[in-house]
Amino acid sequence: MSSSGAVSRNDPTAEGILPKVTGTGLAQCRGNGRPRVERKTVLLADDSNTILMMEKMLLARENYNLVIAKDGQEAYDMALSEKPNLIVLDVVMPKLTGFEVCQKLRQQEQTRTTPILLMTTRGEEENVKKGYEAGCSDYLTKPINAAEFLAKLRLHLLGDAEASRS
Amino acid sequence: MTDSAKDGSGRHYVERVRQGAQRYGQELLEENDRLRGLVVSLETEKQNLRDQLELIRSEAERSGREQADLQQRVSEIESESRRFAEQFVEIERQNSNLANLYVASYQLVSTLDRNQVLQVIQEILANLVGSEEIAVFELEPTTGSLRLIAANGIDPAAYARVAKGQGVIGQVAITGETWIAGSDGAGQEGEERLTACVPLKLEDRVTGAIAVFRLLPQKNGLEPVDRELFDLLATHAAMALHCTALHRLAKV
């Protein structure tokens, strides 16, 4: 996968198996006479193709714009350029860890309140504590529990929508 | 007063009394008729009220039956709704399990690079099964022993080579059957932390094995989908490794 979020050879979306992942957060409902619905943008950051593919499959039915980052630095840059409604960060990533990305994003005005879900195999209490200290909104452990993942994502996106309305 | 005058006055009195009695009799008859009419109308009213009461009673019975039917329907709809919710959760779970299997299968056949295949095997075990302590072995046809080709979270030196039949891992290379902790005898020394051992198989021929040691702290034991992932790994991982070897040969 490239930093622009384009699909790679190693991606089933390339053969139309899954919805295309876009590198931009533009809403795509247009010209059908229905009210234009802004699609939520979700940034997925993980250095594992297996996890990224799993997350994309789980979110395929949810009508989100998905943007992909393969390391911590790319996740940080895309969070600022794409302005996602929610960010899912792996903890162990090259260049910057999920904790570091989370901390840096919390220092930026535009991502100060963006929901950030940290996802990791490190489920020990000290790591969870470290995640919350870094400013994450929620902490998920691998292997992915699909129901928990989707529920937390919806919950935080709902919170984000309510915050924008108020 | 003369006698004739007295007679006239008496007759007159009698006549007056007779007329009065006649009028009183007439009034009594009229009153009687009025009361009879009143009784008839009251009887009719009573009958009407009785009919209305009967109607209300039957209406109440009908409403009661309808209410019971509605209550029954509500409880049917509630239980149907609960069943749908349970089905939805079950479908979500199956969907997630299928996604796991699909992702694992897709990732294994997505590369012809041996190191990437080994990386994918480790990712599947870490991210989909929930273990970061694993060892992947390949069976050497020349020596007949299992040689460690990838490891994570364990001491590679301790498992560099495992003879066929040696401990659980060596036994799996002979039987070609997946071993799950608790399913039969415990492993030998050093295999106490072994959770599962999966043979790598090509057309029923064992070509290697994957040993899965301790699970992640948040993972409470293996689930049915993990066993399905092991079955998938047994053939797909073996095939993927075989393909990388063929590809290497073809390039040479």
Q: CA of B79 to nearest chain A CA: how many angstroms apart? A: 22
Interface test with B, best of A1, A11, A50 (most B CBs within 10 A): A50
Contact A144 B106 (CB under 8 A): no
pLDDT for A5: 41
- Joined together, the tokens standing for residue B223 give 């689930």
Q: CA of A89 to nearest chain B CA: how many angstroms apart? A: 14
How far is CA B44 from each of CA B35, B47, B48, B49, rounded to the nearest angstrom?
Answer: 14, 5, 6, 9
Contact A54 B130 (CB under 8 A): no
The lowest-confidence range among A46-55, B176-185, B229-238 is B176-185
B112, closest residue in chain A (CA to CA): A10
Residue B143 pLDDT class (50, 70, 90 cuts):
confident
Q: Which residues of A touch B128 (CB under 8 A)?
A: 50, 54, 143-144
For the full predicted model, state whether its pTM sits above 0.95.
no
Check CB contact of B93 with chain A, cutoff 8 Å.
Answer: yes
**Residuewise pLDDT in 10s, chain A (166 residues):** 333 443 344 454 444 445 445 443 334 444 455 555 678 999 999 998 889 999 998 898 888 999 999 999 999 999 999 999 999 999 999 999 999 999 999 999 999 999 999 998 888 888 889 999 999 999 999 888 888 899 999 999 887 666 555 5
Check CB contact of B89 with chain A, cutoff 8 Å.
Answer: yes
Residue B1 pLDDT class (50, 70, 90 cuts):
low
Contact B96 A147 (CB under 8 A): yes
Q: Which residues of A touch B89 (CB under 8 A)?
A: 147
A4-12: Cβ within 8 A, 24+ apart:
A5/A66, A5/A67, A5/A68, A5/A69, A5/A78, A9/B110, A10/A49, A10/B107, A10/B110, A10/B111, A11/A49, A11/A53, A12/A53, A12/B106
Contact A84, A22 (CB under 8 A): no
Contact B110, A10 (CB under 8 A): yes
Residue B218 pLDDT class (50, 70, 90 cuts):
confident
Q: Which residues of B touch A51 (CB under 8 A)?
A: 123, 127
- Joined together, the tokens standing for residue B184 give 């039969």
ipTM: 0.70
- Which of residues 136 through 165 in chain B touch A, CB cutoff 8 A? none
Residue B85 pLDDT class (50, 70, 90 cuts):
very high
Q: Which residues of B touch A141 (CB under 8 A)?
A: 216, 218
Q: What is the radius of gyration, based on Cα positions, of chain B?
A: 51
pLDDT for B90: 87
Residue B98 clears pLDDT 90, i.e. is over it: no
Contact B127 A54 (CB under 8 A): yes
Q: Which residues of A touch B123 (CB under 8 A)?
A: 48-51
- Which of residues 87 through 126 in chain A touch B, CB cutoff 8 A? 121, 123-124
